[in-house]
Chains A and B, each alone.
Chain A
Amino acid sequence: MSVSEGPAVAPAPILAAAPPARRSWAPMLQAAPLWAVLLLFFVFPLLATGVVSLWNYTEYSLVPDVTQRNYVEMFEGCSDLSGGLCTTFRTYISTLRLCGMVWACTLVLGFAVSYFLCFHVRSDGMRMALFLVCTAPFLTSNVIRMISWIPLLGREGVVNGVLVGAGIVDKPQDWLLFSEFSVVLAFVHLYTLFVVVPVFNSMMRIDHRLLEAARDAGATGWQTVWHVVVPLAKPGLVIGSIFVIVLVMGDFVTIGVMGGQQIASVGKVIQVQMSYLQFPAAAAQAMVLLALVLLVIAVMTKLVDIRREL
């Protein structure tokens, strides 16, 4: 892999020095609408979920209360490891494993696509055209993109037809559909763009003279990628990762449809509980999921200080 020899992008202008600190209400007021929206549609529902997770419930009603029931039932049997892991742990591990696989695939793919767009495509016009092509699948709905895999991968689908017809396999392969493979495939298809965009954005800011300097200093192509491009693209990689992880951890539709409803996910558990009017149990489950996702994001932002890098 070689680095493009295109004209170097002009170095980013040094940010103008911050204006002198001034006590003023104007900025506060300017930020107020956003605060109000966040408060009303984010903080308040979150608090409500937290409160409801402590409530009790019956078949047909919610009982305001402060009970640990929902959390206790969620982790029932989890301290006893003799009979295998408890449902909650197994569900989380299944979700995390899927998430890990999707994350790895989207990161590698997203990085490769962005790298190609930034450093191999020379004209700006071509670059934008190709970038728009990347977004083309998003013109159809998420569900259609997912479901259209089914006739391709099915037992009597196109892929199996070709494989059997070409004599590569002697009977249709069942692992293509309703398996972890198909779930990961659909996720990668759905979410790679969420990595491409921020990584592309980060890469476009890289001064091409740095790459030339690396080459002049005797770095190989791979060394340049690893020691120059990856560190400078880190903010994009982290932001893309956050998108993918948050989306996959909470998903229940894709895992349900592509996994033939046979693969456990936390989102699915919450959905089942909601449909049986067990809102407090679902709220408790949601709080635990939220805590876990926040933890993952906290670790990632610890590794890369996004604010500083941006």
Chain B
Amino acid sequence: MNGKGFTRRAALQAAGGMAAAGLAAPAVHAQGAVVLRYVGTAVNQHQGIKEKVKEDLGITLEYVPVTSDDVVRRAVTQPNSFDILDSEYWMLKKIIPSGNLVGMDAKRIKLVNEITTVFTKGEIAGKKIGGQGTAPWKVGYLPGREAKSFANGQTEWLTLIPTVYNADTLGIRPDRIGRPIDSWAELLNPQFKGRASILNIPSIGIMDAAMVVEATGQHKYADKGNMTRAEIDLTMRVLTEAKRAGQFRAFWKDFNESVNLMASGEVVIQSMWSPAVTAVRSKGVPCIYQPLKEGYRAWAGGFGLPKTLTGRKLDATYDFINWFLSGWAGAFLNRQGYYAAVLSTAQKAMQPFEWDYWMLGKPAAQDIKAPDGTLLEKAGAVRDGGSYEQRMGGIACWNAVMDENDYMVRKWNEFIAA
């Protein structure tokens, strides 16, 4: 017993000493490396970023890759399990009401005024962008730090600091189709019977279907990202008829499935993500991320702060976010075909010919390489869809959570069972 008491006292003394030392040395980095648990889809969790953060800031990122559904589930049910959340904007409609994320203090984000107007005002080069669905500027701000609903305009409190965003469209196999494709309507064209595919992620799949319904002139939606029950019924009926007629070869759920469907020739036209098209092309299979006249379905992601974060970890998180916007990471993302939130700093970190190719839609003056050095495009190639302004300006709608989400999910299950 005696010995135990002694050690306990010794431990207390040691702890006291450490606390005093802590007070005496307020500098964050003096207390050893900070580890930030970073939950998000694997899309942004690159080894390259992790290494650079360690080198520049001394912060260790602990990546926790999960599916996009799990990002929402984690944020809502386990807010203690992460220090930084890499979320998409549409998820906020589910996460913010739970109160598990707090607003990010704009005063602590150095480049907050440099964030592209796509996020702050919904404009690009002064022109309004299509805002159907959960557009980032609708859910980008909170009225107060701990608010559970969104602010109408810009405030001091940001829900997410944008990281990446892009405009999605259909991927096609030009060698198998052999004619120009310019409309979403082609997805359900009987010419491609048994050779088309869509995502089996209800909230995204239904929007692709809505693009088709509008393109074929069957219905004009007030907001494709927030349909009425009647509109959901109509959209699902169109999809169900196509499914029964054998239009779809398969549905895909994850990135690699979409790559394999396309590369193996099972499918010649399908909704796809930009890096998946790159992946197909890197296998030597021709594949185009085809811009369509009805426009793109866009998405955007960013960093959110859990309410549990305090002290050093909170400071470190702000440091990391400021670093992320400061150029290196932006250039890293731009080189993969995504877009960075602060373009001015990203531009400085890129070669002029890279900027011309990725952002201005000009023919590549030199070979275009991925961040890891693999060859993406030979000199002379032009990016699908053209410049940043053309692509982002052509957005028709954003990935969304509908008010009738519940009903939509039930209808989607019905469609799968049909």
On A, residues with C-beta under 8 Å from B are 59-61, 73, 87, 90-91, 94, 150-151, 154-157, 174, 177-178, 256-257, 260-264, 268-269, 272-278
Contacts and interface: CB of A to CB of B under 8 A. Distances in A.
A82 to B, nearest CB: 16
Given A155-B266, A275-B69, A269 B95 contact: no
Contacts of B250: 178, 260-262
Contacts of A94: 417
Interface in B9-49: none
A110 B69 CA distance: 39
A60 B97 contact: yes
Given A59-B405, A91-B417, A174-B194, A272 B251 contact: no
Contacts of B260: 150
Interface stretch (B351-359, B370-378, B406-414): B406-414
Given A60-B76, A156-B266, 13 more contacts: A59-B405, A59-B406, A90-B417, A154-B265, A155-B265, A155-B266, A156-B264, A261-B200, A269-B413, A276-B69, A276-B405, A277-B73, A278-B406
A59 B93 contact: yes
A1 B202 CA distance: 54
A278 B409 contact: yes
B72 A277 contact: yes
Contacts of B128: none
B286 to A, nearest CB: 15
Contacts of A256: 200, 253
Interface in B260-295: 260, 264-266
Residue in A91, A257, A277 with the greatest tally of chain B CB atoms within 10 Å: A277
B21 to A, nearest CB: 42
A139 to B, nearest CB: 23
Nearest to B199: A261
A91 B401 contact: no
Contacts of B93: 59
A271 to B, nearest CB: 9
Contact of B253 (A178, A261, A277): A261
Contacts of B416: 261-264, 268
18 contacts: A60-B76, A60-B94, A60-B95, A60-B97, A87-B414, A91-B413, A91-B417, A151-B264, A155-B264, A174-B194, A260-B251, A264-B416, A272-B409, A273-B409, A274-B73, A275-B67, A277-B76, A278-B406
B98 interface: yes
Contacts, number: 89
B262 to A, nearest CB: 12
Contacts of B406: 59, 276, 278
Contacts of B202: 272, 276
A60 B98 contact: yes
Interface string B72-102: 1100100000000000000001110110000
B145 interface: no
Interface of B: 67, 69-70, 72-73, 76, 93-95, 97-98, 194, 200, 202, 243, 248-253, 257, 260, 264-266, 401, 405-406, 409-410, 412-414, 416-418
Contacts of A269: 413
Contacts of B98: 60-61
B94 A59 contact: yes
B146 to A, nearest CB: 16
Closest 8 CB pairs of A and B: A260-B250, A264-B417, A275-B69, A261-B251, A87-B414, A261-B200, A60-B98, A178-B250
A178 B249 contact: yes
A122 B351 CA distance: 74
Residue in B98, B202, B266 with the greatest tally of chain A CB atoms within 10 Å: B266
Contacts of A262: 243, 248, 250-251, 416
Contacts of A263: 416
Contacts of A277: 72-73, 76, 94
Contacts of A275: 67, 69-70, 73
Contacts of B264: 150-151, 154-157
Nearest to B96: A60
Nearest to B413: A269
A272 B413 contact: yes
Nearest to B251: A261
A101 to B, nearest CB: 18
Contacts of B410: 73, 87
Contacts of B417: 87, 90-91, 94, 264
